[in-house]
């Protein structure tokens, strides 16, 4: 490859290159405790910045000091407090920025994109199966809500029942999103398990109970699958994605398709082929498309369209 074609390639992929740079910087900022450990420095002032980012992270996270907005929302609900301010912040962010966070900032998205960068042919899920699988993440959110609902009601009205119920649901009361969050696994469970393994000098911590092992195995498979099925966790399992999809369909920030320039699926269809979320934007109106809120605004479709038919609009 000569220098001219190399520069052309960079120019054609400048959005993706910019996105990956932002993802790497965000990953480092969010996990800045790693920098503190590696370089023996104190970056405490970053704490406030990290804490306001809507990341599905955990307050108990030993690597990242940040706790995600979803984690905080459920945390307050369990304590019997309705976090109206946090919910309003989340909705406003999604209405103004769509799911730019998912495509450009979320560390779990970055990890999946890194897996998808392994050069193997990508696979697509059958459309009917894909549509069914998309519902799983909503089931997770509904399940979490149903389980924590009695806590929210009884925290101030029947404290005896509250304590009893909370004791009965065990760890779930302390971390409602824990079992449903890949973030919790990568940034909390996994590092803690490795520390335990090093301290005990055995792999026994992995088999400490059946639920731990099954969940570990489940998320391990998801990470492996993301090599062939980009963003598989975002598509089907992420609780944040469920909330974000529901709101971002109404976002002011949108993608549009120019009806004069676009030549359609039979002539081209490149936009659908490159989309990591398997969105069929050519079935959506020209005025705007969101893939029913699934679009994470990675802009790969816009960048790849040979007819420059895809654009962004606000309003
Ligand atoms: S890549 Fe562009 S021209 Fe081709 S189908 Fe998609 S929007 Fe239309
Ligand atoms: S529709 Fe376009 S911007 Fe949205 S996820 Fe697919 S490729 Fe990315």
Going by DSSP bridges, is the β-strand pair 310-314/253-257 parallel, antiparallel, or unpaired? antiparallel
CB 77 within 8 A of CB 62: no
Residues of the chain with CATH 3.30.70.20: 252-315
From 255, 266, 270, mutation site for ligand 1 pocket: most ligand atoms within 8 A of C-beta: 270
Q: Which residue has the tokens 């090599």?
A: 227
The pLDDT of residue 53 is: 42
- CA nearest 22: which of 114, 104, 101, 110? 104
Please, what's the b/e burial string for 47-58 (b: 16 or more CB within 10 A of its CB; e: otherwise)?
eeebbebbbbbb
CB 279 less than 6 A from any atom of ligand 1:
no
CB 281 less than 6 A from any atom of ligand 2:
yes
The fold for domain 252-315 equals Alpha-Beta Plaits (3.30.70)
- CA nearest 244: which of 59, 60, 69? 69
Following DSSP, what letter does each residue of 14-82 receive, concatenated?
Answer: HHHHHHHHHHHHHHHHHTHHHHHHHHT---TTHHHHHHTS-----TT-SS-----HHHHHHHHHHTT--
The pLDDT of residue 38 is: 62
CB 309 less than 6 A from any atom of ligand 2:
no
State CA 133 to chain mean position distance. Answer: 16
CB 305 less than 6 A from any atom of ligand 1:
yes
- CA nearest 147: which of 176, 181, 170? 176
From 229, 301, 304, 310, mutation site for ligand 2 pocket: most ligand atoms within 8 A of C-beta: 301
The pLDDT of residue 65 is: 42
Shortest-distance Cα residue to atom 1 of ligand 2: 295
Please give the DSSP secondary-structure letter assigned to residue 209: S
From the CA of 310, the nearest ligand is: 1
CB 309 less than 6 A from any atom of ligand 1:
yes
The pLDDT of residue 271 is: 97
Per-residue pLDDT of the chain (315 residues; tens, 9 = 90+): 678 888 888 888 899 999 999 999 888 777 665 666 566 666 555 555 444 443 434 444 444 444 567 777 888 888 888 889 889 989 999 999 999 999 998 888 999 999 999 999 999 999 999 999 999 999 999 999 999 899 989 988 889 999 999 999 887 887 787 778 787 777 767 777 777 788 888 888 777 777 777 887 888 899 999 999 999 999 999 988 999 999 998 999 999 999 999 999 999 999 999 999 999 999 999 999 999 999 999 999 999 999 999 999 998
Shortest-distance Cα residue to atom 3 of ligand 1: 262
* C-alpha 116 to ligand 2 mean position (Å): 15
Rounded Cα distance, 187 and 288, in Å: 36
The pLDDT of residue 51 is: 47
Which two tokens mark 264? 């359609």
Following DSSP, what letter does each residue of 254-296 receive, concatenated?
Answer: EEEE-TTT---TTTT-HHHHH-TT---GGGS-SS-B-TTTT--
The pLDDT of residue 44 is: 56
CB 257 less than 6 A from any atom of ligand 1:
yes
């Amino acid at each position: 490859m000569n220098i001219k074609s190399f520069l052309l390639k960079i120019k054609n992929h400048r959005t993706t290159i910019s996105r990956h740079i932002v993802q790497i910087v965000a990953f480092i900022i969010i996990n800045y405790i790693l920098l503190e450990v590696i370089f023996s420095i104190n970056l405490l002032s970053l704490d406030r910045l990290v804490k306001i980012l809507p990341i599905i992270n955990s307050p108990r996270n030993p690597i990242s000091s940040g706790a995600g907005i979803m984690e905080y929302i459920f945390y307050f609900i369990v304590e019997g407090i309705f976090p109206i301010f946090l919910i309003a912040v989340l909705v406003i962010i999604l209405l103004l920025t769509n799911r730019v966070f998912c495509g450009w900032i979320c560390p779990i998205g970055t990890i999946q994109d890194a897996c998808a960068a392994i050069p193997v042919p990508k696979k697509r899920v059958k459309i009917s199966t894909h549509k069914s699988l998309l519902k799983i993440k909503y089931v997770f959110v509904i399940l979490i809500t149903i389980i924590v609902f009695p806590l929210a009601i009884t925290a101030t009205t029947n404290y005896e029942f509250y304590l009893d119920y909370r004791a009965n649901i065990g760890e779930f009361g302390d971390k409602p999103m824990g079992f449903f969050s890949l973030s919790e696994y990568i940034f909390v469970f996994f590092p803690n398990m490795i520390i335990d393994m090093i301290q005990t000098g055995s792999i026994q911590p992995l088999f400490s109970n059946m639920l731990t092992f099954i969940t570990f195995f489940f998320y391990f498979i998801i990470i492996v699958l993301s090599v062939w099925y980009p963003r598989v966790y975002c598509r089907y399992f992420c609780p944040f994605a469920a909330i974000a999809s529901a709101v971002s369909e109404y976002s002011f920030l949108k993608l549009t398709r120019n009806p004069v320039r676009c030549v359609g699926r039979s002539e081209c269809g490149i936009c659908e082929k490159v989309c990591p979320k398997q969105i069929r934007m050519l079935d959506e109106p020209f005025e705007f498309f969101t893939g029913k809120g699934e679009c994470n605004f990675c802009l790969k479709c816009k960048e790849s369209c040979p007819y420059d038919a895809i654009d962004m609009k606000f309003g």
